[in-house]
Structure 1
Amino acid sequence: MALTDVAVRSAKPREKEYKLADSAGLYLLVTPSGGKLWRLKYRMHGMERKLAIGRYPDVSLGDARKARDLAREAASGGIDPAAAKRRERIAAKVAAGTTFGDVALEYIEKAEREGRSPATINKLRWSRDWLMPALGHRPVDQVEPHELLAVLKRQEAKGNLETAKRTRAFASRVFRYAVATARAKADPAALLLGAVAAPRPTHLAAIIDPKRAGELLRAIDDYSGQPITRFALALSPHVFVRPGELRQAEWVEVDFEAAIWRIPAARMKKRREHVVPLSRQSIAILKQLQGLTGNGRYVFPALGKPTKSMSENTATAALRRMGFAADEMTAHGFRAMASTLLNESGKWSPDAIERALAHKDNDQVRAAYHRGAHWNERVAMAQWWSDHVDTLRDGGAVIPFAKFLS
């Protein structure tokens, strides 16, 4: 006989739990403590199963019967309702404990394990800090595009367009990581591409006029500041590398016999090992510097801190001290100087110049070919360029490099 609301409401606890049957496998389990629990007994693949539906009076008799009917319908279709409910419970628990902040931190820790540079990790943490107040506590799979947009619009209103661009890009990486690890189904940040004003591209200042380049090179030659800084400035125009790659150079990377400097992938922007052919001038600078710092790890150690590399601001400060303003020359500008004047010379293939600058070729087959095919040209180009740097420094006539060493 089916249960009634009165029968359910009137059921009293006993010394032992007991059942009050309804129909089609549904029953009420009454516990000694007075709890009234809806349960459903059904069969799957010939085996008896039980499903917990809820507690009375939170779940009424009518609601329990609706849940019973849905469960039996699922079972008849081959879906085990108890297993499905267990999966839903686990998923809900995971979602509740998987906030955007948690996933973002996990993504950053993954980037650290992959060997991303400290500078990159700091930028990722900085982006996370921007997003934490608004999104940090939110389940990652429940963040809506408008929530992220509000953060980006605040940055845009303050004129921080580059910050907004970086913040959206970081959020997108976090959401894609959440999708890949089965904690989200979509990347809401992708929908916001173009939703805020794009920053104007900024070009790092560089001297590319040959006459002014010569003045810069002579100023470096006469620099009266710290000797290690002078050596860093002197080597910069010869090797085309990024400022961070130069100042973090380690002696173990330099092979004087082979005349190469092998920069590991972990320190390269494109995460790919880069080999720099060293001209006679570069070798001469490094050999003299070896007498000052060769017993330590870094080619250019920080002043008074030999276990750390030179600060990223050291070269810039030296350029300002020599009278070259921020809108005229930067530490990064030596790369632009080399790129511009090498291309203008017409002597070298654009591919060899791009390889010397460690610019990434998106075609991996083509990139592998060019790494080998242009090596001899890069070696010859490195020596020609260093000779040309000497010419620029003297205003036209090549001076023996020994002048710098005297």
Structure 2
Amino acid sequence: SQLTRYALKFLLLNPYRAMNLTTLKWEYVDLEKGIITIPRNEMKIKNKNFSDFILPLSTQTVRLMKEIYKLTGWGTWVFHGKNETVPMNKETCNRALERMRFNDEDAGRRQRTHSFRGTFRSLAETYERQHGVSEASREACLDHHEQDVKKRAYTHRADYTAQMKILMQWWADFIDNL
């Protein structure tokens, strides 16, 4: 469906977990500011001491979101299911990848929605000199948190939003140039 295509494009541009992608609500999206804010209790790590997950949007993502808004902006979910009152199933994009033969294990290919996150992380690290964004900012884009409790005590309130914006725009431009 068109909505599944949009979900895959969104996922290519933004390193979300499948559950955060499919349960994304329009109320979390601020296209004017170019940012999505997901409440902490809807993230994988629900630690109440962590702030909500914020991810700045590239200009390409803002354009895409405006297109998606025409389809689903009247509802709760950015990516709703067949029944508009529920979110898209978290396996919908994986099934689409299978139908497109990106997830063909017999041929030695295994591309899942979670693989988009790994690809983002690997290439963001590989091309660090091009975008100049810190490792901490790259990890913040993935909502990864410092495991060392002592280090986290000093960094858990750090605001990486400005660097994340640079990285997300670099990533969208990188994808466009492929």
2:41 alignment partner AA: A
SS across alignment from 2:118: helix
Of 121, 128, 140, the residue aligned with 1:355 is 140
Match of 2:16?
Answer: 241
Task: Report the residue type matching 1:334 in the other structure.
Answer: F
Could you say which residue in structure 2 is the equivalent of 1:228? 3
Aligned to 1:318: 96
Partner in structure 1 of residue 167 of structure 2: 381
Structure 1 segment 25-64 matched on structure 2, within 5 A: none
Alignment-mate amino acid for residue 318 of structure 1: A
CA shift digits 1:59-108 (9 cap, x unpaired) = xxxxxxxxxxxxxxxxxxxxxxxxxxxxxxxxxxxxxxxxxxxxxxxxxx
Matched length: 163
Letter in 2 for 1:356: C
Which residue matches 1:390?
Answer: 176
For residues 364 and 298 of structure 1, what CA distance do their matches in structure 2 show?
35
Amino acid at match of 2:10: L
Q: Which residue of 1 aligns with 2:38?
A: 263
2:54 aligns to what SS in structure 1?
strand
- For 1:330, the equivalent position in structure 2 comes to 112
SS at structure 2 position matched to 1:296:
coil
Cα distance in structure 2, aligned partners of 1:293 and 1:299: 6
How far apart, CA to CA, are the structure 2 residues paired with 1:331 and 1:382? 18
Cα deviation code 1:199-231 (max 9, x no counterpart): xxxxxxxxxxxxxxxxxxxxxxxxxxx000000
Deviation at 1:349, TM superposition (A): 1.6
* Separation in 2, partners of 1:268, 1:311: 17
- Give the C-alpha shift of residue 266 in structure 1: 1.4
Distance 1:379 1:276 in 2: 8
TM-score, length basis structure 1 = 0.39
Q: Does 1:368 pair with 2:157?
A: yes
The structure in which a higher percent of residues are strand is 1
Q: Is the 2:54–2:161 Cα contact (8 Å) retained in structure 1?
A: no
* Residue deviations 1:119-176 (CA, integer Å, cap 9, x gap): xxxxxxxxxxxxxxxxxxxxxxxxxxxxxxxxxxxxxxxxxxxxxxxxxxxxxxxxxx
In the alignment, the residues of structure 2 paired with residue 265 and residue 306 of structure 1 have an alpha-carbon distance, to the nearest angstrom, of: 24
Length-normalised TM-score, structure 2:
0.88
Aligned counterparts of 1:258 and 1:380: Cα–Cα separation in 2: 14
Q: Secondary structure at the match of 1:276?
A: strand
Aligned to 1:307: 85
The percentage of aligned residue pairs carrying the same residue is: 29
What letter is aligned with 1:281? Answer: Q
Paired position in structure 2 for 1:298: 77
1:393-404 to structure 2, matched below 5 A, reads: none
The one-character-per-residue Cα deviations of 1:267-325 (angstroms, maximum 9, x if unpaired) are: 1011141001000111111100100000000000002x111000111001100111112
Structure 2 segments unaligned to the other structure (5+ residues): none
By how many angstroms is 1:364 displaced?
2.9
2:98 is paired with a residue whose SS is helix
- For residues 133-144 of structure 1, the aligned pairs below 5 Å read none
CA distance in 1, matches of 2:128, 2:59: 23
One-letter code of the match for 1:367?
Answer: H
Q: What residue ranges of structure 1 are gaps of 5+ in the alignment?
A: 1-225, 393-406
Structure 2 partner of 1:344: 126
- Measure how far apart 1:242 and its partner are: 0.6
